[in-house]
């Protein structure tokens, strides 16, 4: 029976460490969060980030722009925040409403304040193994593996999903940790067979019931990144837990696994940004 990987407990520990380190700086780390429109899910995420900042004793600002705002207004706000010495991290809550160009918006953020690790500069640094920031969700997965003494080195690692936010950077981090990495996606014809070879299986597709028991080999570590709602409206991941739990050695629950770690990594990235800025401002 799989050991449940407690992301809530680890996230709490990491945020406490961040709070202690931040207290040693000559000013508090500062995070600005921008939300455009009134997407209910986005509002929940923004509220949780404000709570995280309070727990870490960071300075935070929230900018709630109406959906009728223009692309130029959003870009001007980002430009203003780029110039602020008391703001170390800038986060634009995605997705943006229809009519906004997300690529242009993400490019406008100063790479030194890109605590989501979405800017092409930071993605490039990640690819060559010199990351400034850890991409939040994949970085959280790596912290969970470290906490449970699971070393990817020499192991077969399979990532389901190739998104820019999770799948691709997850593969990069596992590769940098000396794992042998395969990425599967919607055009992979033999995904079930490939998944069944994994020592570490990471699913980040967003499809209820995707990962069944016959896709997991005995003793595999299974990381469920997805956040879905099943037919009954219950929060769940990609994994069919009742089938996978008896076979896996470790399994992340949904909720309470990777989700809290994503938020904790944002706090660590903001701390890193603050340290870099204060070093530069000496």
Q: Where are the alpha helices (DSSP H) in the chain?
A: 7-22, 40-56, 71-83, 102-108, 120-127, 136-147, 167-176, 191-195, 241-244, 258-280
Residues whose CB is less than 8 angstroms from the CB of residue 116 and which lie 6 or more positions away in sequence, other chains included: 91, 133, 135, 136, 266, 269
Residue burial 25-43, b: 16+ Cβ < 10 Å; e: rest = eeebbbbbbbbbbebeebe
Query: Residue 213 corresponds to which tokens in the numbers above?
Result: 């028991």
**Which one is catalytic: 15, 52, 88, 93?**
93
Among candidate residues 116, 199, 224, 238, the one labeled active-site is 116
Q: Does 282 participate in catalysis according to the annotation?
A: no
- Residue 6: CB atoms within 10 Å: 17
Active-site residue, selected from the candidate residues 49, 113, 168, 247: 49
CB atoms within 10 A of CB 56: 27
Catalytic residue list contains 168: no
Q: Determine whether 110 is an active site residue.
A: no
Give catalytic residues, as residue numbers.
49, 93, 116
């Amino acid at each position: 029976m799989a050991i449940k990987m407690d992301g809530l407990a680890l996230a709490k520990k990491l945020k406490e460490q961040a709070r202690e380190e931040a207290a040693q700086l000559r000013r508090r780390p500062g995070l600005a969060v921008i939300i455009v429109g009134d997407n209910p899910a986005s509002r929940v995420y923004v509220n949780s980030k404000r709570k995280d900042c309070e727990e870490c004793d960071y300075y935070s600002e929230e900018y709630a722009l109406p959906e009728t705002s223009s692309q130029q207004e959003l870009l001007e706000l980002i430009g203003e925040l780029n110039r602020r010495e008391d703001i170390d991290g800038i986060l634009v809550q995605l997705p943006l409403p229809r009519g906004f160009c997300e690529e242009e918006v993400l490019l406008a953020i100063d790479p030194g304040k890109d605590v989501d690790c979405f800017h092409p500069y930071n993605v490039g640094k990640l690819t060559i193994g010199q990351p400034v920031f850890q991409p939040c969700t994949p970085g959280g997965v790596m912290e969970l593996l470290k906490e449970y003494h699971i070393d990817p080195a020499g192991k077969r690692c399979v990532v389901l999903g190739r998104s820019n936010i999770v799948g691709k950077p997850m593969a990069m981090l596992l590769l940098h940790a000396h794992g042998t990495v395969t990425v599967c996606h919607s055009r992979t014809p033999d995904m079930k067979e490939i998944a069944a070879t994994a020592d570490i299986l990471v699913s980040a597709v967003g499809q209820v019931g995707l990962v069944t028991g016959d896709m997991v080999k005995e003793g595999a570590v299974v990381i469920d990144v997805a956040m879905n709602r099943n037919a009954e409206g219950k929060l769940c991941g990609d994994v069919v837990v009742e089938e996978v739990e008896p076979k896996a050695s470790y399994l992340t629950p949904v909720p309470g696994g990777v989700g809290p770690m994503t938020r904790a990594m944002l706090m660590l990235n903001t701390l890193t940004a603050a340290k870099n800025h204060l070093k530069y401002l000496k």
